[in-house]
Chains A and B, each alone.
Chain A
Amino acid sequence: MIVNEQKTLYERARVVAFKKKATPVGDDSVEVVEFILHPEHYAIEGKYLREVLSLNEITTIPGTPDFVMGVINFRGTILSIVNLKVIFGLTEKGLTELNKVIILCNDTMEFGIVADGLVGNKRIVSNTLSDAPLTLNGIGADFVSGITDEGLIVLDANRMLNSTQLIIDQ
């Protein structure tokens, strides 16, 4: 068992340490993090991602719209959690885990989004993205930069963070 673990760790370290060949792309390539919102796969630009954690305990705040799942204690400060499934209208597609929190931030805003799972890092070339599907509308459509060939939906984290529509100020 321990040997296996060692081996796995070694293997993992080797993969991480391995210097990837320069991806055959120009300046247009961006580092993204891929995550799952059942049944779809999304990606978000890495530079707006602060941290990923497991969702253990969440406090719902009465009087907030459905897309605000609640708030969590993030090392002594309070952080709000957004459920993108509500914004993208995916709520009816089955039960999901939504037990990972991806914390997004820029200079002025910080909140977490919940995901069903994290796939990993990836590089994509932004000018190869196709437009968002027409089926998306409302605020959700504003947040989509485009879709990759593999069907990965790339979100514009900065636009989400700057969106006044996500700010609750009643």
Chain B
Amino acid sequence: MDSQQEEFLRELLEDFKIEAAEHHQAIVNGLIKLEKTPGSANSQSDVEIIFREIHSMKGAARAVNLTQIEQLCMGMENVFHEIKKGNLKLIPAIFDTFLKAADYLEIMISEIDSKQKTVSENNLSQFKRSFEGFIKKSSPGFGVLHSQPRVENKFTSSKPENPIAATAADRAEETSLSAVPEPLNTQVNKPIVESHMKLSDKETVRVTTSKLYDILRQAEEMVTVKTSLKFQIKQLEQLITRFDSWRKTQDDRFFTQSTMSIEVDESHQSVEGAKQKVYLKKHAEELNKINGSLEQMQRLVIRSVDEMLLDIKKTLLYPFSSLLNIVPKIVRDLGKEYNKEINLQMEGGEIEIDRRILEEMKDPLIHLIRNCIDHGLETRSDRLKANKPAMGNLNISIRLDNQNIEMLISDDGAGINSEKLINSSIKSGIIKPEEVEAMSKNEINMLIFSSGVSTSPFITDVSGRGLGMAIVAEKVAGIEGTIELETEQGKGTSFKITLPQTMAAFRGILVRASDQLFIIPTSTVIKALQLKLSDIKTVESKKTFSFKNETIALVHLREVLHIRHRPAEKKQQSTLNVLILQLSQKKIAFIIDEVLGEQEGVVKNLSPQLRHVTNIAGATLLGNGKVVPILHIAELMSSAAQRSLINDIEIVKEVDNEGTEAIERNILVVEDSITVRNMLRNFIEAAGFTVKTAVDGMEAFEILKAETFDLVVSDIEMPRMNGFQLTSQIRSIKKLADTPIILVTSLDSANDRQRGLEAGANAYIVKGSFEKSNLIETIQRLI
């Protein structure tokens, strides 16, 4: 029972924290609005709003026994009661005290769960004294008389047209229902069904975000079903094609047979043939039917998975205002600190965006605002000197443009001093002095986003260390947004950040480097192209080529990743497959062996053991279930930049070798164990042979019929067709009969050796006594 009550109280406190944070934000916003325009027509309603928010917070705090918060709110409420009645003028001291009190409220709310209590009784009694001081200043005789409980009673009775606000105070688990300006009791009296119907559209529930994200993750897993289904259908289609062509040969055979054997038991033959024809036709039809319904199902799955994902993502959308709410306070505090008068304008807070993006944007927004206030806007005297209005303007506007959200942060301050920017960039080694000439204005402006660059001669606690803007650029790039910058000296600066509205499903380009597959995030690929070898230039011993008047460094993906190079790939290289990748202004082109297509998927962690592997961001699953690593482009680019020059020269050697390649020796490795298969392949390739692999005798035999090999290395124990059978099969076909065969096996008995030799193998190597050189020597001897 006790633990149940504890649990209940804990839940209540959680609810209170959420509610109190909202009240707190509303109080702060109201105060700042009021401070800016104290005499405006709306000020009375602003006072009303603040009063109500304080009152609600007080009630909620009392409900969960948080006496300190309740007391502080009560003091604030008393003062606002006098203001509301017009007994007390809004003097600047009130704003300072109240905003400070709001800070204390925030601290207390954040410390509900922790043992640490920053706010002491002493702090609270100080506030109490200040509040009493304000009230004394109001019309004599009134302020002191109003005791707290009566204020509340009065409030409820004096405002009969809006009972919601009063009830809100008593219900800590308030939903946003309170925003519906309709008295609750009238709804209660209506028939239940009707009220349910009426409410269902507007009714809201609080759900912890972690639960929503769990659902989102599960929905994202469904993407794997999509890709897997696609793969299975493709497999089935291939099967149908094979079956159809086989059926055709069968039909033809029966046709010729039946026409040739008219005399011999005519009726029997044709009946058999007709039977088989009907049988095959029936099966072909069934296959096609299954294929049809699978395709139909695929369309259905694609549609419902996509719709489900979109809907779940929509529930995760959040108004931008929840982020913008923190801005007025920051601007006010920084303005006071730097002694700058700032007129803040914000619009578009109602526009909705993925919560995760909003969370990611918090730091960048704060950095940009600090940057604007510290570096951008001038002091009052400087502004007057420059013939500008004394008050600096800071505008933040949010716009929805198709599926993208544009966040514009602009000031009418001094603008960015490009000379200082260039000097600072040169000093920190980001650019070389001689490079400046060739840089466009935009490129120079973008230098501000490089780490270590600051135009400020002073290092303050908010800016000047040159890290803030680099963080901004990184964060924005991390959520696949872009940032642009416009600045004019003396006129101001504006940053335009373009963000996606929802976190897009991960899309990547599937590429092959040597014999390994990788996924490159589509968002980083700006161009895939085929590069002629003659287009490659060498600049300071580095490979580059020119793309749209830009010189781009060229590297081999497999070399950056240190993957073994398979000599077999050399032959048809008259052009290179190249992907140009871009990440925050940096472009590098990677040479890959093949582009296999685009892939949608879920980014998965590599495994608890592989916490972080350089150049790898995670992995995703292909339709056939295969795991493919996703490359970490930022790390890949810095790995590429760090590569030693020796590797670069290797490209030249390869290119030079092109025409004079030695005669290729093809070897087929047949082995069912994947480990041994890869091991054998690596050994044999390392010795300079070209290797193809098969998983069992059956597959090997198919491959042998289609292609030419100089030698076969085969295991003995394999499913479907073992090594002995394979050897006999090879020997029985004239075209293949002379191919040397080496049997590699763990079976070490004289009997087996004998059997192998009888079947026609040329050599027999026992795994137990196996040594690399032994196998290679044997191969070389036999070819």
| Contact residue among B517, B625, B628, B673 (Cβ-Cβ distance under 8 Å from A98) | B673
* A6 close to chain B: CB less than 8 A: no
For the complex, give the distance between the alpha carbons of A80 and B629 in Å. Answer: 12
Q: Please determine whether A59 and B627 come into contact, CB atoms closer than 8 angstroms.
A: yes
Size bracket of the B interface? 35 or more
Q: Please determine whether A109 and B619 come into contact, CB atoms closer than 8 angstroms.
A: no
* A94 close to chain B: CB less than 8 A: yes
Q: Please determine whether B676 and A97 come into contact, CB atoms closer than 8 angstroms.
A: yes
Q: Please determine whether B673 and A64 come into contact, CB atoms closer than 8 angstroms.
A: no
For the complex, give the distance between the alpha carbons of A76 and B217 in Å. Answer: 13
* A63 close to chain B: CB less than 8 A: yes
Q: Which of B74-82, B580-588, B767-775 contacts A (4 or more CB under 8 A)?
A: B767-775
B contact residues around A114 at 8 Å (CB):
675
Q: Which residue of A lies closest to B615 (CB)?
A: A63
For the complex, give the distance between the alpha carbons of A56 and B615 in Å. Answer: 26
| Contact residue among B613, B615, B625, B768 (Cβ-Cβ distance under 8 Å from A168) | B613
Q: A60-B516, A76-B621 are in contact. Are A94 and B770 (CB under 8 A)?
A: yes
Q: Please determine whether A78 and B607 come into contact, CB atoms closer than 8 angstroms.
A: yes
* A135 close to chain B: CB less than 8 A: no
* B224 close to chain A: CB less than 8 A: yes
Q: A57-B674, A95-B744, A109-B609 are in contact. Are A62 and B767 (CB under 8 A)?
A: no
For the complex, give the distance between the alpha carbons of A59 and B606 in Å. Answer: 11
For the complex, give the distance between the alpha carbons of A110 and B611 in Å. Answer: 12
Interface residues of B, dominant DSSP? mixed
For the complex, give the distance between the alpha carbons of A35 and B663 in Å. Answer: 45
Q: Please determine whether A170 and B673 come into contact, CB atoms closer than 8 angstroms.
A: no
A contact residues around B679 at 8 Å (CB):
95
| Contact residue among A95, A111, A170 (Cβ-Cβ distance under 8 Å from B612) | A170
B contact residues around A62 at 8 Å (CB):
516, 561-563, 615-616, 629
* B610 close to chain A: CB less than 8 A: yes
Q: Which of A66-74, A125-133, A137-145 contacts B (4 or more CB under 8 A)?
A: A66-74
Interface residues of B in 194-232 (CB under 8 A from A): 221, 224
Q: A61-B610, A169-B611 are in contact. Are A71 and B673 (CB under 8 A)?
A: no
Q: Please determine whether A94 and B619 come into contact, CB atoms closer than 8 angstroms.
A: no
| Contact residue among A56, A59, A108, A110 (Cβ-Cβ distance under 8 Å from B628) | A59
A contact residues around B744 at 8 Å (CB):
95
* B605 close to chain A: CB less than 8 A: yes
Q: Which residue of A lies closest to B624 (CB)?
A: A57
As a 0/1 sequence over residues 44 to 88 of chain A, the CB contacts with chain B under 8 angstroms (1 = contact) are 000000000001111111111000110111001111101000000
For the complex, give the distance between the alpha carbons of A79 and B605 in Å. Answer: 9
Q: Which residue of B lies closest to A92 (CB)?
A: B771
> How many of A's residues come within 8 Å of B, CB to CB?
39
| Contact residue among A56, A94, A108 (Cβ-Cβ distance under 8 Å from B767) | A94
Q: Which residue of A lies closest to B775 (CB)?
A: A95
A contact residues around B675 at 8 Å (CB):
55, 58, 69, 96-99, 114
* A166 close to chain B: CB less than 8 A: yes
Q: What total of A-B pairs shows CB separation below 8 Å?
A: 116
Q: Please determine whether B609 and A166 come into contact, CB atoms closer than 8 angstroms.
A: yes
Interface residues of B in 620-639 (CB under 8 A from A): 621, 625-629
A contact residues around B767 at 8 Å (CB):
94-96
Q: Which residue of A lies closest to B626 (CB)?
A: A57
**Shortest Cβ distance from residue A60 to the other chain B in the assembled complex, whole angstroms:** 7
Residue from A58, A69, A99, A170 having most chain B Cβ neighbours under 10 A: A170
**Shortest Cβ distance from residue B617 to the other chain A in the assembled complex, whole angstroms:** 12
As a 0/1 sequence over residues 110 to 129 of chain A, the CB contacts with chain B under 8 angstroms (1 = contact) are 11001000000000000000
Q: Please determine whether B616 and A63 come into contact, CB atoms closer than 8 angstroms.
A: yes
For the complex, give the distance between the alpha carbons of A169 and B611 in Å. Answer: 5
For the complex, give the distance between the alpha carbons of A116 and B325 in Å. Answer: 62
* B614 close to chain A: CB less than 8 A: yes
A contact residues around B628 at 8 Å (CB):
59
* B191 close to chain A: CB less than 8 A: no
As a 0/1 sequence over residues 387 to 417 of chain B, the CB contacts with chain A under 8 angstroms (1 = contact) are 0000000000000000000000000000000
Q: Please determine whether B676 and A59 come into contact, CB atoms closer than 8 angstroms.
A: no
Q: Please determine whether A94 and B768 come into contact, CB atoms closer than 8 angstroms.
A: yes
Interface residues of B in 631-683 (CB under 8 A from A): 673-676, 679-680
Q: A78-B604, A167-B611 are in contact. Are A63 and B561 (CB under 8 A)?
A: yes
| Contact residue among A69, A96, A110 (Cβ-Cβ distance under 8 Å from B608) | A110
Q: Which residue of A lies closest to B560 (CB)?
A: A62
Interface residues of B in 730-772 (CB under 8 A from A): 744, 746, 767-770
Q: Please determine whether A108 and B608 come into contact, CB atoms closer than 8 angstroms.
A: yes
For the complex, give the distance between the alpha carbons of A94 and B746 in Å. Answer: 10
Q: Which residue of A lies closest to B612 (CB)?
A: A169
For the complex, give the distance between the alpha carbons of A94 and B674 in Å. Answer: 16
Residue from A72, A77, A94, A114 having most chain B Cβ neighbours under 10 A: A94
Q: Please determine whether A63 and B562 come into contact, CB atoms closer than 8 angstroms.
A: yes
Q: Please determine whether B619 and A110 come into contact, CB atoms closer than 8 angstroms.
A: no
Q: Which residue of B lies closest to A64 (CB)?
A: B613
For the complex, give the distance between the alpha carbons of A81 and B783 in Å. Answer: 37
Q: A78-B627, A94-B767 are in contact. Are A61 and B616 (CB under 8 A)?
A: yes
Q: A95-B744, A96-B675 are in contact. Are A59 and B619 (CB under 8 A)?
A: yes
Residue from B221, B673, B675 having most chain A Cβ neighbours under 10 A: B675
A contact residues around B612 at 8 Å (CB):
168-170
A contact residues around B221 at 8 Å (CB):
76
For the complex, give the distance between the alpha carbons of A82 and B562 in Å. Answer: 20
**Shortest Cβ distance from residue A125 to the other chain B in the assembled complex, whole angstroms:** 31
**Shortest Cβ distance from residue B765 to the other chain A in the assembled complex, whole angstroms:** 9
A contact residues around B224 at 8 Å (CB):
76
Q: Please determine whether B616 and A78 come into contact, CB atoms closer than 8 angstroms.
A: no
B contact residues around A99 at 8 Å (CB):
673-675
A contact residues around B616 at 8 Å (CB):
61-63
Q: Please determine whether A168 and B611 come into contact, CB atoms closer than 8 angstroms.
A: yes
| Contact residue among B607, B615, B673, B680 (Cβ-Cβ distance under 8 Å from A79) | B607
Q: Please determine whether B674 and A58 come into contact, CB atoms closer than 8 angstroms.
A: yes
B contact residues around A64 at 8 Å (CB):
610, 613
| Contact residue among B561, B563, B621 (Cβ-Cβ distance under 8 Å from A73) | B621
**Shortest Cβ distance from residue A166 to the other chain B in the assembled complex, whole angstroms:** 6
A contact residues around B562 at 8 Å (CB):
62-63
| Contact residue among A38, A77, A167 (Cβ-Cβ distance under 8 Å from B609) | A167
Q: Which residue of B lies closest to A169 (CB)?
A: B611
Residue from B563, B625, B744 having most chain A Cβ neighbours under 10 A: B625
A contact residues around B607 at 8 Å (CB):
71, 77-80, 110-111
For the complex, give the distance between the alpha carbons of A99 and B677 in Å. Answer: 11
Q: Which residue of B lies closest to A82 (CB)?
A: B609
For the complex, give the distance between the alpha carbons of A167 and B744 in Å. Answer: 35
B contact residues around A39 at 8 Å (CB):
768
Q: Please determine whether A71 and B674 come into contact, CB atoms closer than 8 angstroms.
A: no
For the complex, give the distance between the alpha carbons of A106 and B610 in Å. Answer: 16
Interface residues of B in 565-624 (CB under 8 A from A): 604-616, 619, 621
Q: A94-B768, A95-B676 are in contact. Are A73 and B626 (CB under 8 A)?
A: yes
Q: Please determine whether B673 and A168 come into contact, CB atoms closer than 8 angstroms.
A: no
* Given A71-B627, A94-B767, A95-B744: 9 more A-B contacts, CB < 8 Å: A39-B768, A58-B674, A61-B629, A62-B563, A71-B606, A78-B619, A99-B674, A170-B612, A170-B614
What are 21 of the A-B contact pairs (CB < 8 Å)? A57-B674, A58-B674, A58-B675, A59-B516, A59-B628, A61-B629, A62-B562, A63-B616, A68-B610, A71-B610, A78-B604, A78-B607, A78-B619, A82-B609, A95-B744, A95-B746, A95-B767, A99-B673, A167-B609, A168-B609, A170-B613
Q: Would you list the 5 A-B pairs with minimal beta carbon distance, nearest first?
A: A80-B607, A98-B675, A169-B611, A62-B561, A59-B627
